Amino acid sequence: MATGTPSRSSGRHCTRSAIGSSSPPRLAGEGFYGVSVHPPEEGVAAVQATMPDTVQIVYNLARRDAEDTFLPTAQAANVGVIAREPLVRSWG
C-alpha cells in the first residue's frame, strides 16, 4: 500500500480529549488523521489545534450551524469535511 493511502488498519481517529494537544497523533506513513466532533466550535478548535486531514461533523438540512464558522475555517485550512447524519436522524 502506498504511503498516505488510508486503510481500515492504519486509519487514525481522534476523540475530543486530543483536541488541544500540542501536536496531532500522526506518525509518518501511518495514513490519514481525522476527528469527529459535534458542535461547530469543536471543529474549529480541532482544525486550529491539530490540523486533521478530515473532520466529521453533524451537518444536514435541520442542523446547518456549521455553515457560519466551521465550513469557512475548514475550507481555508484545506481540511476535508465529512457530513454526519446527512439525512437527519430525527426532526424533534
What confidence tens digit (pLDDT) does each residue in 38-55 have? 999 999 999 999 999 999
8 sits in the region (left: phi over 0; alpha: psi -120 to 50; else beta) called alpha
Q: Looking at the DSSP assignment, which residues form a beta bridge with residue 14?
A: 35
User: Percentage of residues in the chain with pLDDT exceeding 90?
Assistant: 52
Domain ranges of the chain: 32-87
pLDDT in the model for residue 26: 53
Name the residue among 68, 20, 78 with its Cα closest to residue 46.
20
Element (H, E) at 35: strand 33-36
Give the residue-averaged pLDDT of 14-30: 51
pLDDT in the model for residue 65: 94
**Would the pTM of this model clear 0.75, i.e. be above it?**
no
